């Protein structure tokens, strides 16, 4: 049973870098059977797909975030990391890590993913 746990600071100042970690248990992040996604949900808005990293370490990003986002991994810790630079208050959201068994860029429906983390609130404010 795959389980995901997001962690990171709940408050980030404008212009700084947001860094979140998704710790995976129950499966290896190097598995060819899973894709590890990051999504977010701003207050009062729908889910936004941000990016994905595959078991081989290849990453794909939302065009709207491509200049600011990076997804990487630490295979020794079985963790996937999200970095978003130059944040603004518009980046305030609940951030989710989600696993999918198929490659589905830009999916924003919860049932298109096999496993979700519980989400972590990030507020961008000075």
- Do 17 and 83 meet the contact criterion of CB atoms below 8 Å apart? yes
Please choose, from the candidates 22, 32, 74, the residue with its C-alpha nearest in 3D space to the C-alpha of residue 56: 32
- Residue 39 in this model has a pLDDT that exceeds 90: yes
Q: What is the pLDDT of residue 82?
A: 98
- Residue 122 in this model has a pLDDT that exceeds 90: yes
Instruction: Characterize the bridge pairing of strands 120-124 and 11-12.
Output: parallel
pLDDT one-digit tens code per residue, 91-106: 999 999 999 999 988 8
Q: What is the pLDDT of residue 106?
A: 87
Tell me what the pLDDT averaged over the chain comes to: 96
Three-state SS string over 72-90 comes to EEECCCCEEEEEECCCCHH
Judging by beta carbons within 10 Å of its beta carbon (0-12, 13-18, 19+), is residue 118 exposed, middle or buried? Answer: exposed
Cα torsion 103, 109, 113, 115: sign:
positive
- Residue 126 in this model has a pLDDT that exceeds 90: yes
Q: What is the pLDDT of residue 19?
A: 98
Q: Hunting for tokens 């961008």 — which residue is that?
A: 124
Q: How far is Cα of residue 33 from the mean position of the Cα atoms in its chain? A: 18
Give the integer Cα–Cα distance in Å for 75 and 64: 28
């Amino acid at each position: 049973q795959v389980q995901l746990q997001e962690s990171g600071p709940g408050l980030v100042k404008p212009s700084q870098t947001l860094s979140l970690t998704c710790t995976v248990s129950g499966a290896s992040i190097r598995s060819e059977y899973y894709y590890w996604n990051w999504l977010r949900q701003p207050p009062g808005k729908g889910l936004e797909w941000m990016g994905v990293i595959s078991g081989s370490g290849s990453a794909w990003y939302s065009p709207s975030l491509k200049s600011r986002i990076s997804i990487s991994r630490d295979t020794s810790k079985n963790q996937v990391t999200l970095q978003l630079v130059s944040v603004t208050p518009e980046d305030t959201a609940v951030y989710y890590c989600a696993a999918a068994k198929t490659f589905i860029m830009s999916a924003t429906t919860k049932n298109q993913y096999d496993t979700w983390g519980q989400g972590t609130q990030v507020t961008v404010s000075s």
